[in-house]
Structure 1
Amino acid sequence: MKTIKIDGARMLLKSAYFPRKFNNYTPHKYTAIIGLGGNIGNTSMIFDRFLNLILKDRRFAIVQSSPMLVNKAFGYASRDYINAVIILKTSLYAREVLRIMQRFERRFKRKREFKNSPRTLDLDILYFSAKSYNNEELILPHPGANSRPSVFIPLGLMKGI
Protein backbone atom coordinates (compact mmCIF):
# COMPACT_ATOMS: atom_id res chain seq x y z
CA MET A 1 0.00 0.00 0.00
CA LYS A 2 1.29 3.44 -0.90
CA THR A 3 1.26 6.21 1.72
CA ILE A 4 -0.03 9.52 0.43
CA LYS A 5 0.93 12.71 2.24
CA ILE A 6 -1.26 15.76 1.92
CA ASP A 7 0.31 19.03 2.98
CA GLY A 8 -1.05 20.16 6.33
CA ALA A 9 -2.86 16.92 7.24
CA ARG A 10 -1.39 15.65 10.51
CA MET A 11 -3.51 12.78 11.93
CA LEU A 12 -7.00 11.39 12.46
CA LEU A 13 -8.83 11.37 15.79
CA LYS A 14 -11.84 9.43 17.02
CA SER A 15 -14.34 10.19 19.78
CA ALA A 16 -17.73 9.02 21.01
CA TYR A 17 -19.51 10.52 17.97
CA PHE A 18 -16.75 10.73 15.35
CA PRO A 19 -16.78 8.63 13.16
CA ARG A 20 -20.20 7.07 13.47
CA LYS A 21 -23.20 5.99 11.42
CA PHE A 22 -26.60 6.96 12.77
CA ASN A 23 -30.17 6.20 11.71
CA ASN A 24 -30.46 6.25 7.91
CA TYR A 25 -34.25 6.44 7.83
CA THR A 26 -35.69 9.90 8.13
CA PRO A 27 -38.76 11.65 6.70
CA HIS A 28 -36.78 14.87 6.11
CA LYS A 29 -36.48 15.89 2.46
CA TYR A 30 -33.10 17.69 2.23
CA THR A 31 -29.57 16.46 2.80
CA ALA A 32 -26.97 18.85 4.16
CA ILE A 33 -23.26 18.25 4.56
CA ILE A 34 -21.87 20.38 7.37
CA GLY A 35 -18.19 21.05 8.00
CA LEU A 36 -17.03 21.45 11.60
CA GLY A 37 -13.82 23.15 12.59
CA GLY A 38 -12.13 24.59 15.63
CA ASN A 39 -8.84 25.18 17.38
CA ILE A 40 -9.65 26.87 20.69
CA GLY A 41 -10.30 24.71 23.74
CA ASN A 42 -10.90 20.97 23.71
CA THR A 43 -12.18 20.80 20.14
CA SER A 44 -13.01 17.09 20.08
CA MET A 45 -15.12 17.52 23.24
CA ILE A 46 -16.80 20.58 21.70
CA PHE A 47 -17.62 18.56 18.57
CA ASP A 48 -19.12 15.76 20.71
CA ARG A 49 -21.18 18.28 22.72
CA PHE A 50 -22.43 19.92 19.52
CA LEU A 51 -23.44 16.57 18.01
CA ASN A 52 -25.15 15.55 21.25
CA LEU A 53 -27.23 18.75 21.09
CA ILE A 54 -28.14 18.39 17.43
CA LEU A 55 -29.12 14.73 17.95
CA LYS A 56 -31.83 16.01 20.32
CA ASP A 57 -33.10 18.59 17.80
CA ARG A 58 -36.09 17.14 15.90
CA ARG A 59 -35.47 19.48 12.97
CA PHE A 60 -32.43 17.37 12.08
CA ALA A 61 -31.53 13.71 11.71
CA ILE A 62 -27.82 12.91 11.71
CA VAL A 63 -26.95 10.25 9.14
CA GLN A 64 -23.18 9.96 9.54
CA SER A 65 -20.08 11.65 10.93
CA SER A 66 -16.49 11.45 9.72
CA PRO A 67 -13.32 10.92 11.71
CA MET A 68 -11.76 14.16 12.96
CA LEU A 69 -8.75 15.46 11.04
CA VAL A 70 -5.98 17.40 12.75
CA ASN A 71 -4.53 19.76 10.17
CA LYS A 72 -2.36 22.83 9.89
CA ALA A 73 -4.14 26.16 10.13
CA PHE A 74 -4.40 28.10 6.87
CA GLY A 75 -4.83 31.80 6.27
CA TYR A 76 -3.65 32.71 9.77
CA ALA A 77 -0.82 30.92 11.56
CA SER A 78 -2.15 29.56 14.83
CA ARG A 79 -2.76 26.25 16.60
CA ASP A 80 -3.62 23.26 14.42
CA TYR A 81 -7.29 22.92 13.55
CA ILE A 82 -9.50 19.91 14.01
CA ASN A 83 -12.06 19.39 11.27
CA ALA A 84 -14.84 16.90 10.66
CA VAL A 85 -17.90 16.51 8.46
CA ILE A 86 -21.44 15.43 9.28
CA ILE A 87 -24.26 14.46 6.96
CA LEU A 88 -27.70 15.38 8.20
CA LYS A 89 -31.24 15.39 6.90
CA THR A 90 -33.70 18.23 7.45
CA SER A 91 -36.92 19.67 6.08
CA LEU A 92 -35.67 23.21 6.65
CA TYR A 93 -34.41 25.44 3.87
CA ALA A 94 -30.69 26.18 3.61
CA ARG A 95 -30.98 29.72 5.02
CA GLU A 96 -32.81 28.41 8.08
CA VAL A 97 -30.11 25.79 8.60
CA LEU A 98 -27.48 28.54 8.29
CA ARG A 99 -29.15 30.62 11.01
CA ILE A 100 -29.42 27.62 13.33
CA MET A 101 -25.74 26.70 12.77
CA GLN A 102 -24.77 30.31 13.56
CA ARG A 103 -26.75 30.07 16.82
CA PHE A 104 -24.82 26.91 17.71
CA GLU A 105 -21.55 28.75 16.99
CA ARG A 106 -22.58 31.57 19.36
CA ARG A 107 -23.62 29.04 22.01
CA PHE A 108 -20.06 27.68 21.87
CA LYS A 109 -18.62 31.22 22.15
CA ARG A 110 -17.56 31.60 18.50
CA LYS A 111 -16.18 35.06 17.81
CA ARG A 112 -15.59 36.45 14.32
CA GLU A 113 -12.63 38.71 15.01
CA PHE A 114 -11.05 38.52 11.54
CA LYS A 115 -10.98 36.20 8.52
CA ASN A 116 -9.66 32.71 9.42
CA SER A 117 -9.23 33.70 13.06
CA PRO A 118 -8.94 30.98 15.74
CA ARG A 119 -12.32 29.73 16.89
CA THR A 120 -14.07 27.35 19.27
CA LEU A 121 -16.56 26.04 16.71
CA ASP A 122 -16.96 26.85 13.04
CA LEU A 123 -19.95 25.33 11.22
CA ASP A 124 -20.18 25.61 7.44
CA ILE A 125 -22.86 24.30 5.11
CA LEU A 126 -20.70 22.66 2.47
CA TYR A 127 -23.44 21.17 0.27
CA PHE A 128 -27.21 21.28 0.46
CA SER A 129 -29.18 18.75 -1.65
CA ALA A 130 -27.35 19.62 -4.87
CA LYS A 131 -28.68 23.18 -4.66
CA SER A 132 -26.71 26.27 -5.60
CA TYR A 133 -26.92 29.66 -3.92
CA ASN A 134 -24.81 32.75 -4.38
CA ASN A 135 -25.79 35.78 -2.35
CA GLU A 136 -24.34 37.85 0.49
CA GLU A 137 -25.71 35.50 3.13
CA LEU A 138 -24.98 32.08 1.66
CA ILE A 139 -22.86 30.54 -1.10
CA LEU A 140 -23.47 26.89 -1.98
CA PRO A 141 -21.62 24.75 -2.58
CA HIS A 142 -19.28 26.33 -0.06
CA PRO A 143 -16.24 27.96 -1.72
CA GLY A 144 -13.30 25.64 -1.18
CA ALA A 145 -15.44 22.62 -0.34
CA ASN A 146 -13.92 20.71 -3.24
CA SER A 147 -10.33 21.86 -2.70
CA ARG A 148 -9.65 21.98 1.05
CA PRO A 149 -8.08 18.89 2.65
CA SER A 150 -10.00 19.80 5.83
CA VAL A 151 -13.16 18.90 3.88
CA PHE A 152 -12.26 16.28 1.29
CA ILE A 153 -10.23 14.06 3.62
CA PRO A 154 -12.96 13.62 6.29
CA LEU A 155 -15.65 13.40 3.61
CA GLY A 156 -13.65 10.84 1.65
CA LEU A 157 -13.27 8.65 4.75
CA MET A 158 -17.03 8.33 5.19
CA LYS A 159 -18.50 5.07 3.98
CA GLY A 160 -21.70 4.68 2.01
CA ILE A 161 -22.24 8.27 1.00
Structure 2
Amino acid sequence: MERIYINGARMLLRSRYFPKEFRLKAKHKYTAIIGLGGNIGNTARLFDRFLNLILKDRRFAIMQSSPMLVNKAFGYASRDYINAVIILKTSLYAKEILKIMQHFEKRFKRVREFRNSPRTLDLDILYFSAKSYNDNVLTLPHPGANIRPSVFIPLGLMKGV
Protein backbone atom coordinates (compact mmCIF):
# COMPACT_ATOMS: atom_id res chain seq x y z
CA MET A 1 0.00 0.00 0.00
CA GLU A 2 1.38 3.41 -1.00
CA ARG A 3 1.59 6.04 1.75
CA ILE A 4 0.98 9.64 0.77
CA TYR A 5 1.10 12.40 3.36
CA ILE A 6 0.16 16.10 3.26
CA ASN A 7 -0.87 16.73 -0.34
CA GLY A 8 1.58 14.32 -1.93
CA ALA A 9 4.57 14.71 0.40
CA ARG A 10 6.21 11.28 0.54
CA MET A 11 9.53 11.32 2.42
CA LEU A 12 12.60 13.34 3.40
CA LEU A 13 16.08 12.84 2.00
CA ARG A 14 19.47 13.95 3.27
CA SER A 15 22.72 14.57 1.44
CA ARG A 16 26.06 16.29 1.90
CA TYR A 17 24.53 19.79 1.94
CA PHE A 18 20.87 19.10 2.79
CA PRO A 19 20.03 19.83 5.59
CA LYS A 20 22.89 21.95 6.86
CA GLU A 21 23.62 25.11 8.80
CA PHE A 22 26.54 27.04 7.38
CA ARG A 23 28.80 29.12 9.60
CA LEU A 24 29.49 31.79 7.01
CA LYS A 25 29.99 35.40 8.02
CA ALA A 26 27.74 37.55 5.92
CA LYS A 27 27.99 41.29 5.56
CA HIS A 28 25.26 41.26 2.94
CA LYS A 29 22.16 43.33 3.62
CA TYR A 30 19.35 41.20 2.14
CA THR A 31 18.01 37.75 2.94
CA ALA A 32 16.60 35.60 0.15
CA ILE A 33 14.83 32.28 0.45
CA ILE A 34 15.30 30.17 -2.67
CA GLY A 35 13.26 27.09 -3.55
CA LEU A 36 14.95 24.25 -5.41
CA GLY A 37 13.06 21.61 -7.35
CA GLY A 38 13.63 18.96 -9.96
CA ASN A 39 12.65 15.52 -11.18
CA ILE A 40 14.97 14.69 -14.10
CA GLY A 41 18.22 12.87 -13.40
CA ASN A 42 19.78 12.45 -9.97
CA THR A 43 18.13 15.49 -8.40
CA ALA A 44 19.77 15.10 -4.99
CA ARG A 45 23.21 15.12 -6.64
CA LEU A 46 22.23 18.14 -8.77
CA PHE A 47 21.16 20.02 -5.64
CA ASP A 48 24.53 19.28 -4.01
CA ARG A 49 26.39 20.38 -7.15
CA PHE A 50 24.37 23.61 -7.30
CA LEU A 51 25.04 24.39 -3.63
CA ASN A 52 28.73 23.63 -4.08
CA LEU A 53 28.85 26.21 -6.90
CA ILE A 54 26.92 28.87 -5.03
CA LEU A 55 29.10 28.41 -1.93
CA LYS A 56 32.04 29.60 -4.05
CA ASP A 57 30.15 32.68 -5.28
CA ARG A 58 31.08 35.72 -3.16
CA ARG A 59 27.82 37.44 -4.06
CA PHE A 60 26.03 34.99 -1.77
CA ALA A 61 26.45 33.58 1.71
CA ILE A 62 24.42 30.43 2.29
CA MET A 63 23.05 30.42 5.82
CA GLN A 64 21.01 27.22 5.92
CA SER A 65 19.48 24.48 3.81
CA SER A 66 16.46 22.29 4.47
CA PRO A 67 16.11 18.54 4.13
CA MET A 68 15.00 17.46 0.65
CA LEU A 69 11.33 16.55 0.30
CA VAL A 70 10.18 13.91 -2.17
CA ASN A 71 6.68 14.78 -3.27
CA LYS A 72 4.14 13.90 -5.91
CA ALA A 73 4.23 16.04 -9.06
CA PHE A 74 1.40 18.54 -9.41
CA GLY A 75 -0.01 20.05 -12.56
CA TYR A 76 1.59 17.68 -15.06
CA ALA A 77 1.70 14.05 -13.88
CA SER A 78 5.27 12.78 -14.05
CA ARG A 79 8.02 11.42 -11.80
CA ASP A 80 8.04 12.56 -8.18
CA TYR A 81 9.78 15.86 -7.52
CA ILE A 82 12.44 16.59 -4.99
CA ASN A 83 12.26 20.02 -3.38
CA ALA A 84 14.38 21.90 -0.87
CA VAL A 85 14.85 25.43 0.40
CA ILE A 86 17.97 27.48 1.06
CA ILE A 87 18.36 30.72 2.95
CA LEU A 88 21.09 33.03 1.74
CA LYS A 89 22.38 36.53 2.34
CA THR A 90 23.25 38.85 -0.52
CA SER A 91 23.67 42.50 -1.41
CA LEU A 92 22.06 41.96 -4.81
CA TYR A 93 18.57 43.06 -5.70
CA ALA A 94 15.88 40.47 -6.37
CA LYS A 95 15.90 40.88 -10.16
CA GLU A 96 19.68 40.39 -10.21
CA ILE A 97 19.26 37.18 -8.21
CA LEU A 98 16.57 36.05 -10.64
CA LYS A 99 18.96 36.41 -13.60
CA ILE A 100 21.68 34.50 -11.76
CA MET A 101 19.27 31.69 -10.81
CA GLN A 102 18.07 31.45 -14.42
CA HIS A 103 21.71 31.19 -15.50
CA PHE A 104 22.21 28.28 -13.08
CA GLU A 105 19.06 26.59 -14.43
CA LYS A 106 20.48 26.79 -17.96
CA ARG A 107 23.85 25.52 -16.75
CA PHE A 108 22.03 22.48 -15.34
CA LYS A 109 20.21 22.01 -18.68
CA ARG A 110 16.77 23.22 -17.59
CA VAL A 111 14.36 23.26 -20.53
CA ARG A 112 10.99 25.06 -20.29
CA GLU A 113 8.80 22.95 -22.58
CA PHE A 114 5.46 23.83 -20.95
CA ARG A 115 4.06 24.93 -17.60
CA ASN A 116 4.98 22.51 -14.77
CA SER A 117 6.97 20.33 -17.18
CA PRO A 118 9.61 17.95 -15.81
CA ARG A 119 12.94 19.67 -15.15
CA THR A 120 16.49 19.09 -14.03
CA LEU A 121 16.69 22.12 -11.76
CA ASP A 122 14.10 24.76 -10.93
CA LEU A 123 15.19 27.72 -8.81
CA ASP A 124 12.60 30.15 -7.47
CA ILE A 125 12.97 33.21 -5.27
CA LEU A 126 10.30 32.51 -2.67
CA TYR A 127 10.87 35.45 -0.34
CA PHE A 128 13.20 38.43 -0.41
CA SER A 129 13.83 40.41 2.81
CA ALA A 130 10.11 40.64 3.63
CA LYS A 131 9.56 42.74 0.50
CA SER A 132 6.60 42.54 -1.87
CA TYR A 133 7.04 43.01 -5.59
CA ASN A 134 4.86 42.35 -8.60
CA ASP A 135 5.53 42.96 -12.29
CA ASN A 136 5.64 40.87 -15.46
CA VAL A 137 9.12 39.55 -14.58
CA LEU A 138 9.02 38.84 -10.85
CA THR A 139 6.40 38.42 -8.13
CA LEU A 140 7.43 38.37 -4.46
CA PRO A 141 6.60 36.57 -2.36
CA HIS A 142 6.44 33.79 -4.93
CA PRO A 143 2.81 32.90 -5.79
CA GLY A 144 1.87 29.77 -3.90
CA ALA A 145 4.88 29.84 -1.58
CA ASN A 146 2.61 29.92 1.47
CA ILE A 147 0.37 27.07 0.35
CA ARG A 148 2.64 24.57 -1.41
CA PRO A 149 3.82 21.64 0.73
CA SER A 150 6.97 21.56 -1.45
CA VAL A 151 7.84 24.92 0.18
CA PHE A 152 6.29 25.04 3.63
CA ILE A 153 7.38 21.53 4.72
CA PRO A 154 11.13 22.01 3.97
CA LEU A 155 10.98 25.59 5.30
CA GLY A 156 9.18 24.46 8.44
CA LEU A 157 11.91 21.90 9.14
CA MET A 158 14.65 24.54 9.24
CA LYS A 159 15.99 25.90 12.52
CA GLY A 160 15.00 29.38 13.57
CA VAL A 161 12.70 30.03 10.62
Q: TM-score range, shorter-chain basis?
A: over 0.9
Displacement, 1:24?
A: 5.0
The answer as to 2:18 corresponding to 1:18 is yes
Partner of 2:156: 156
Partner of 2:47: 47
Displacement, 1:7?
A: 2.1
Q: Which residues of 2 match residues 10-159 of structure 1 at below 5 A?
A: 10-23=10-23, 25-159=25-159
- Structure 2: how far apart are the matches of 1:8 and 1:132? 29
What fraction of aligned residue pairs are identical, expressed as a percent? 82
- Structure 2: how far apart are the matches of 1:34 and 1:14? 18
Q: Which residue type is aligned with residue 14 of structure 2? A: K
Instruction: Give the total of aligned pairs.
Output: 158
| Superimposed CA distance per residue, residues 25-78 of structure 1 (whole angstroms, 9 cap, x where no aligned partner) | 310000000000000000000000000000000000000000000000000000
Structure-2 change in CA distance of 1:13 and 1:154 (3 Å): same
| 3-state SS, counterpart of residue 115 of structure 1 | coil
Q: Which residue type is aligned with residue 49 of structure 2? A: R
Q: Which residue type is aligned with residue 65 of structure 2? A: S
| Superimposed CA distance per residue, residues 122-153 of structure 1 (whole angstroms, 9 cap, x where no aligned partner) | 00000000111100100000000000000000
| 3-state SS, counterpart of residue 49 of structure 2 | helix
Displacement, 1:160?
A: 1.5
| 3-state SS, counterpart of residue 7 of structure 1 | helix
Q: Which residue type is aligned with residue 140 of structure 1? A: L
TM-score by length of 1: 0.96
Cα RMSD for the two superposed structures? 1.0
| Superimposed CA distance per residue, residues 102-131 of structure 1 (whole angstroms, 9 cap, x where no aligned partner) | 000000000000000000000000000011
Which portions of structure 1, spanning 4 or more consecutive aligned residues, are displaced by more than 6 angstroms? none
